[in-house]
Structure 1
């Protein structure tokens, strides 16, 4: 033990001593419980001041490698090996905490976790029940496809040419006139939002939205430095947009047909009003129209059908209808925008699944898709009526709601502010999963997003009974 630190070295004396001690522990020379020489002995051995040794030992104690036993001395700690392992690995938590993309709210993390469990009644899930998906028909259509070798390779930047042409024909029925070069195939609507966020907007841009919004439960814009701003669609809209637009770049995110989570549907006048207000301020509109096919009554034309200046980016998808697992959606917009976003898409995933694109193309071209949608709407209408009957029986004295106009959801509003994390977790303990309103508006303690699209009829009955029990308990406790 005649080692001494190098005084002219690039590493400080203190750090050299720390490394010398940890080397002895890592090699097993000093096992857990080994008593170290005194500070005076080490200082003499190393030829340094005692204060230098003391600082080195204090740092090792702070790291959990050494420990002091009062009246006895300094020893190698029992957990020294684990502490050393942590020191030799990257500090992944620091990487996580300082990363660009923000974590989801804890409630949403729990929702994502519990949605994978078969023993949970999912009263808020935003997807179709497996029994409603055309599994057998999709399987049969695979046998009808004649795949070319190219279909097993990577997709072209904007997506399958024939699929983009078929989408142009499909959206024409919505009053949207587009050419294939105006279409980009995306892996669901959420990817479209992410591409827009990183491909078109500068940091600090304003994203206007309604007060209660799906965007508050995910972070495609927030995580790249955008400022979310809730805005009322009233007579002051034009002036408000113009004032904010002077400050920085802005877009307006809108779900005019079957809003998620409220289920609201704008009138043609409201759509025109927003379009004209945004046009006056030269603010682009992102129109998320993924639910329109599930409207129980005839849909009014989308905002995009009014667009004569190329300011509306239109998003469609089969995730809410045909299959979320196919991961196929589309974005319609000006050619320059589409080419830009397609370039970024190729940099991130090298194109959506070519086989999924072939399946969606087949369903659009053969008419299977529209026939299936008609049947699906009827089944969703029956489910909505069933849930409304239960609500009338159990909740009419404690909550309000609007009759659903289509889609998946009933926006259930309780008379008292009882929707909080406690209610969410107590329901979870009974294997009932809800989507509380506060994940869509942090100030909302009255609403839950109630889905009639996923749970079985028996689960809907049982889940709503448990919800009723917990709400009654909560109200009684609150009014004591």
Structure 2
């Protein structure tokens, strides 16, 4: 329900009539076009915070006026509006256009998670981003207020992104053992856009992408919507298991391997140095390119992770993806791809065709953060805060979940992979927790066959929320399994 419209419960106009008029306006102005499926009575009652009978009366009025109609197997849909009644030709069937689009819809539970995240009162135990209180608002304001802010532009940057920012990234990643020139770096609007550009610019429809199982990549449709197939390869405590990659490449004509070696999403696993060498060796032998997603690599606690695959790559096999979304803030929408120059040239050309470059203001802010030393200072603070939250969360799990499940203790990143040792319906757990004001990320988001795990995040919810949410979650699981 839009924030600009609310039920007036002190009005003399009955509630069902207010709701009917609101829905009628959405139909008449085309927001709900002919063919649109109306939300269920239960969902509408929840949105408007009224009894279900109030919704029944409201929908009865709309049906009597000829606006909506209930159809077996289709639910209640919009069948008319004033324009379609008066016009000599019917309006376009926008629902057929929606269904015809090539980009696949998010899986239903992801759509529900995205909607629930807008509720400020919900405890978000699975959200993979920093809490707003950990983001450097004041420092960002200072960057745009100082004298050097005269240097930034409101115009477009060059195709590969602001040169100064690429120079700063080139210097920054030397600390990770990666030595590349700015011409081999493309600035993108977040790591997700990097994957979209790769899927559009480098791969054929029908290609097979290898990835860890489970994987964050299963929760989005960036490759599937481009006509690619995903094939999961199992993991152990050291990362992706490599001994079947050669055989699988031949069997499935694998085109590329996607991996998150540092503090994997969703499991939090840190790929060992030995496993990284094994993975790079087998992919070199099989001529299988790698996308290395290192967006969590700076978020280590006790000691830095092993050097990235890209730092060991002397054949141009690895496309290295980084981002500021997990450290400085997702709203900046700044990431980068590092790879062979012909690949970067190709991807930059496609990027120019799609959005004409990332935000010049965000590029300026990130370059200032890197060049001034503010980024290193910020990382030290964030690592300390995340380590405290990890330890706090693990302590809560030891106290309330020792008879319910098992979990890992990650060395960095955002995530704890909680394994529930009782038979349980993940859908039922998700719904009951949501009703109790707790938002979860079930394991089947990352592996459709997983009915055992939850991705817990300690990065977003406050320690108090984490404690209250986990205590209530433990009670819900006990209720569902008793």
1:328 alignment counterpart: 334
Q: CA contact under 8 A between 1:319 and 1:326: conserved in structure 2? A: yes
Which residue of 2 is the match for residue 103 of structure 1?
Answer: 105
Maintained 8 Å contact 1:202/1:249: no
Q: What is the CA-CA distance between 1:84 and the residue it aligns to?
A: 4.2
In the alignment, structure 1 residue 375 sits paired with structure 2 residue 416: no
Task: Report the secondary structure of 1:448's partner residue.
Answer: strand
1:420 alignment partner in structure 2: 426
In structure 2, how many angstroms separate the alpha carbons of the residues matched to 1:429 and 1:82?
39
* 1:164 paired to 2:169: no
**Who is 1:45 aligned against?**
none
Aligned residue pairs, count: 400
How many angstroms apart in 2 are the aligned matches of 1:429 and 1:89?
Answer: 39
Which residue is equivalent to 2:290?
Answer: 285
d(CA) in 2 for partners of 1:85, 1:391: 63
Alignment correspondent of 2:211: 209
Structure 1 stretch displaced more, 133-142 or 344-353: 133-142
Alignment partner of 1:273 is 2:273: no
State the secondary structure of the residue aligned to 2:157: coil
Q: Which runs of 5+ in 1 are unaligned?
A: 1-63, 66-77
Asked whether 1:194 is paired with 2:200, we answer no
Q: 1:237 aligns with which of 236, 244, 249?
A: 244
Matching residue of 1:337: 343
Partner in structure 2 of residue 137 of structure 1: 139
How many Å apart are 1:170 and its aligned residue? 0.6
The answer on 1:399 being equivalent to 2:401 is no
Rate the CA distance shift 1:153–1:465 in 2: closer, same or farther, 3 A.
same
Shift of 1:140: 1.2
Which residue matches 2:94?
Answer: 92
Q: Give the counterpart of 2:114 among 112, 115, 119.
A: 112
Q: 2:436 matched to 1:430?
A: yes
Q: Kindly indicate whether the alpha-carbon contact (under 8 Å) linking 2:299 and 2:413 is maintained by their aligned counterparts in 1.
A: yes
Q: Is the 8 A contact 2:84 2:91 kept in 1?
A: no
Q: From the superposition, tell whether residues 92 and 356 of structure 1 become closer, same or farther in structure 2 (CA, over 3 Å).
A: same
Shift, 1:238, TM fit: 4.4
Matched-pair contact (CA < 8 Å) for 2:103–2:226 = yes
Given that residues 419 and 447 in structure 1 are in contact (C-alpha distance below 8 angstroms), is that contact kept between their aligned partners in structure 2?
no
Match of 1:300 in 2: 306
Deviation at 1:421, TM superposition (A): 1.3
- Summarize the Cα distance change of 1:447–1:298 in structure 2 as closer, same or farther, 3 Å threshold: same
State TM-score, norm by structure 1: 0.80
Following superposition, the deviation at residue 242 of structure 1 comes to: 3.9
Structure 2 SS opposite 1:173: helix
Structure number with greater Rg is: 1
Shift of 1:241: 4.0
> What is the alpha-carbon distance in structure 2 between the residues aligned to residue 167 and residue 79 of structure 1?
56
Q: Does 1:251 align with 2:253?
A: no
CA distance in 2, matches of 1:85, 1:271: 67
Judge conservation of contact 2:242–2:279 (CA < 8 Å) in 1. Answer: no
CA distance in 2, matches of 1:315, 1:80: 48
- For the aligned residues, what is the CA RMSD? 2.0
Taking structure 2 as the reference length, the TM-score comes to 0.80
